[in-house]
Chains A and B, each alone.
Chain A
Amino acid sequence: MTSEDDDLDADLRALFADQRLSVAPGEDAVSSVLAGAKRRRRRRTAVLATGGALGVAAVLLAGGLIAGHAIRPGQVQSANPSGLPTSSYQTLAPTPAPAAAVLGPDGYGDLTLGMSAQQALATELVTNRVRTVKDCTIYDDTRPAPSGPAPTAQVNKSLYIYVSGSAPTGVQVIVAPAGVTTPEGIGVGSSSAAVKSTYPTGSSQRGGLVVVAVPGHTDADYRFTVDSQGTVTTVGLSVARQHCVD
């Protein structure tokens, strides 16, 4: 047992040297990277051209823009002192759309369970397509949360939703930004005991997840993640029988 423990260093090196770690690139992997890079470059250029808040880079480029010169890719990097790639949408949206204070019973502000991705985007509560997992697409809001506790690694900063592409279609899960509670007052920081006493029916728990029925709704659940201290860290609302996050 102890000798096995001592081998952990060597075993980790062996694991990372293992051939089974290899992943074959998809056929169109290279071309889709090239297309994606081009799209991002174009988007960033558009942000610059509309006077986006890019600070130094925008100022430096202003002369060129006014003179009608095309922006060459590669001219716009000086606003990134960290040296790491920055998200191209960080520079977009300054203020979030007016947000609701509560999540539930059937949605969040103008966002409601079951609406299409297009309708969800039209609410302007979510602004950004993140990625697709299985056939559910995640959209989020990269703008800062309007209120509530400061975001930490344990607390979700912003709103995000899952939209299913197959039946049942539409918005399946809505995860609220920190600071938002259910109509019954359960939010980030509530205790799991409070969750259970507030929602006595349909409760199930596994790992750090508590799922309860939305009062008066058989077709919707609240989903709470709970940390090891029994404190709620995320508040979500979902269609009862959805396949995006189960």
Chain B
Amino acid sequence: MPAPATALDVRRPGEERMADGTDFTEFVRAAMPGLLRYGHALTGNPHDAADLVQTVLEKIGARWSSVARKTGDPVAYARRAMANANISRWRRHRMERLVADAPEGDAVYQADRFESEPLWQALRALPPRQRAVIVLRYYDGLSEAEIADSLGVSTGTVKSQASKAMATLRARRAELSEGRSA
């Protein structure tokens, strides 16, 4: 049960409450660590994760009362929005992905804690839509139909993207593991 509102509990402009009394500030504070972690899995690095979370939360905050009204689970809503935003951002800035060398060269990424994880490296190299399908399936535990719905694609696309992704992950992981032990 949420705590009852008190006299001090004054709603400031832009801090609309959900039915259960959660305001946007509380939501951001509580959801931020989980969303950053999720963004890390989606984007492959902490820097892009922070960027993605910031953008998506800003948009949600700008229309918080509607989000709060329409969805019972704003965290799940934010995650779906992040998956989609990450795909469309990549689409718009494809060159950046291709032109920029593997981001390991950048100081921001040097503290990559998964440097020695072939599976992580392989995952990071997947195109964003394939990566999103893998994250939604194994991080969120969604079904193919739910993934299709979340990403606005057909279940056929989800199936084909998932099988492509899994094949690439297998091959790439084997390659990286061999390269490392050689």
Contact = CB atoms under 8 A, between A and B. Distances in A.
Interface residues of B, number: 69
A8 B166 CA distance: 8
B159 interface: no
A74 B92 contact: no
Nearest to A85: B59
Interface in A213-238: 223, 225, 233-234, 236
B164 interface: no
Majority DSSP secondary structure for residues of B touching A? helix
A177 B120 CA distance: 33
Nearest to B36: A23
B51 A13 contact: no
Contacts, number: 177
Interface residues of A, number: 66
B69 to A, nearest CB: 8
Given A234-B94, A246-B100, A85 B123 contact: no
B169 A40 contact: no
B170 A73 contact: no
A80 B70 CA distance: 12
Contacts of B108: 134
Nearest to B14: A38
B58 A236 contact: no
B56 A12 contact: no
A48 to B, nearest CB: 12
A40 B117 contact: no
A158 interface: yes
Contacts of B55: 131
B95 A175 contact: yes
Contacts of A234: 94-95, 98
Given A83-B70, A140-B92, A225-B99, A37 B24 contact: yes
Given A84-B84, A85-B59, A225-B94, 9 more contacts: A4-B174, A8-B170, A22-B33, A33-B58, A74-B66, A85-B63, A131-B55, A138-B93, A245-B95
12 contacts: A12-B134, A20-B113, A22-B40, A29-B54, A36-B61, A38-B61, A83-B77, A85-B56, A138-B96, A160-B93, A223-B95, A225-B98
Interface of B: 13-14, 16, 24-25, 28-29, 32-33, 36-37, 39-41, 46, 49-51, 53-67, 70-71, 77, 80-81, 84-85, 91-96, 98-101, 106, 108, 113-114, 117, 119-120, 123, 129, 134-135, 138-139, 152, 166, 169-170, 173-174
- Which A-B residue pairs are the 3 nearest by beta carbons? A37-B61, A74-B65, A77-B66
